[in-house]
Amino acid sequence: MSITPSSVAPVERKLDLSRVEVPRPPLLARLRGWIIWIIIISLLAWSWAPAEIYKSVNLITDWRNMAEFAGGFLQPSFKNGQTYLGEMIETIQIAIWGTALAVLVGTPFAILSAANVCPQWIVQPVRRLMDASRAINEIVFALLFVVAVGLGPFAGVMALAIHNVGIIAKLFSEAVEASDARPVEGIRATGALRVQEVVFGIVPQVMPLWSSYTLYRFETNVRSATVLGIVGAGGIGHSLYENIRSFQYAETAAIVIIIVLAVSLIDLLSSQIRKLLV
């Protein structure tokens, strides 16, 4: 009698899931989420009194005072609108030059800060120098340059440039470190120099991202440049400060409107450009 496959009863093997032991994650992994929340809550509680968060009640109890103060901004006066517009254009020009100089100086530092390009004995000192550059606010640099070169827009340009060198170097270096190593290895196989590896293997990859970062920093620098005039570094900040100090709320409102419109227009324009680049 021949045995056919159809005559053989199939053997069913059922897996008893009740006997399968699933390894439990380590205790630290299970408590990681709770530990993070405990740290966050502890930091907020620790900062509660020094930051005077308890005064947030005044936002509700003293709303009439705030409404009366805000009422002065409801009738903006554009009698000096042409002057304010000229100062806003000057502010944008300060931001343009500050951003351009920051990119020009910051790009070499970005390469030197990239761990996949330079050794650690170069990367670490350069990174600490860039940390110091971006840790100091533009206002502080503006005060220093006002003393050095006098009042005017050039002090604002230099303040923005020095502060943004550190920011540009950090953003650009992170893009370099995230680049694909295969093109660089292919260029290295031809016997190219290290500079040629960077120029032809890395820069073409990161250029769209670098361009996007540059536009973003330009937007930020326009907003930052609006307050540099407070310390005499040019731009519309001087008029803004003088009108606030003399309680000229109508003129202050006009300046604020001009700043908001200019920044919004630049934001819309740069957003469209970034879409084309990235």
CATH number of the domain encompassing residue 218: 1.10.3720.10
Asked whether residue 165 is assigned to any structural domain, the reply reads: yes
Asked whether residue 200 is assigned to any structural domain, the reply reads: yes
Asked whether residue 145 is assigned to any structural domain, the reply reads: yes
pLDDT at 278: 61
Low-confidence ranges of the chain (pLDDT < 70): 1-25, 27, 30, 69, 72, 277-278
Q: What share of the chain is helix, strand, coil (3-state, %, to 5)?
A: 80, 0, 20
Please check whether residue 202 is in contact with residue 179, taking contact to mean a CB–CB distance below 8 angstroms: yes
pLDDT at 219: 87
192 phi and psi, to 5 degrees? -70, 160
Q: What is the 3-state secondary structure (H, E, C) of 157-200?
A: HHHHHHHHHHHHHHHHHHHHHCCCHHHHHHHHHCCCCHHHHHHH
Could you tell me the residue range of the domain that residue 185 belongs to?
81-277
Tokens 């006009």 locate to 254
- For 234-262, what is each residue's pLDDT tens digit? 888 888 888 888 878 888 888 888 988 98
pTM of model > 0.85: no
Asked whether residue 90 is assigned to any structural domain, the reply reads: yes
pLDDT at 27: 67
Domain count, the chain: 1
Asked whether residue 258 is assigned to any structural domain, the reply reads: yes
Select from 246, 120, 103 the least CA-distant residue to 167.
103
pLDDT at 19: 61
pLDDT at 159: 92
pLDDT at 22: 59
Asked whether residue 188 is assigned to any structural domain, the reply reads: yes
Asked whether residue 239 is assigned to any structural domain, the reply reads: yes
Asked whether residue 140 is assigned to any structural domain, the reply reads: yes
Tokens 């990859």 locate to 205
pLDDT at 13: 55
